[in-house]
């Protein structure tokens, strides 16, 4: 009702790629938590790109 499946898959893949978390762990994050961690990963990627 609130999230498109492909958006969820995209965010799950992003977290798994950067943090190496298991799919089960990522799927069980609440939406808000998952979005926050996507933001954290993006910030880390940006910081390492600038370094």
Partner 1 sequence: MRREGPGGAVASPPAAGSGPGSVLGPGFGEERREPLRTEFEFELPRGYVDESGTVHRRGAMRLATARDELVPLRDVRVRENPAYLSVVLLGRVVTRLGTLPSVHDGTVENMFASDLAFLQDFYRQINAEGHTRAAVACPHCSESFEVELAGSRLGES
The footprint of partner 1 (CB under 8 A) covers 1-3, 5, 8, 11-12, 26-34
Least spacing, CB of residue 22 vs partner 1, in Å: 12
Closest to partner 1 by CB, 36 or 46:
36
Least spacing, CB of residue 13 vs partner 1, in Å: 11
User: Could you give the dihedral angle defined by the CA atoms of residues 11, 34, 41 and 24, in that order, rounded to the nearest 10 degrees?
Assistant: -70
Query: Where does residue 26 rank: exposed (0-12), middle (13-18), buried (19+ CB within 10 A)?
Result: buried
Closest to partner 1 by CB, 6 or 49:
6
**If you search the block for the tokens 């990627």, which residue do you land on?**
45
């Amino acid at each position: 009702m609130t999230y498109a499946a492909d958006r969820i898959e995209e965010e799950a893949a992003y977290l798994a790629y950067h943090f190496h978390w298991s799919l089960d762990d990522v799927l069980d994050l609440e939406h808000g938590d998952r979005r926050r961690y996507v933001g954290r990963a993006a910030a880390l990627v940006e910081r390492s790109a600038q370094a």
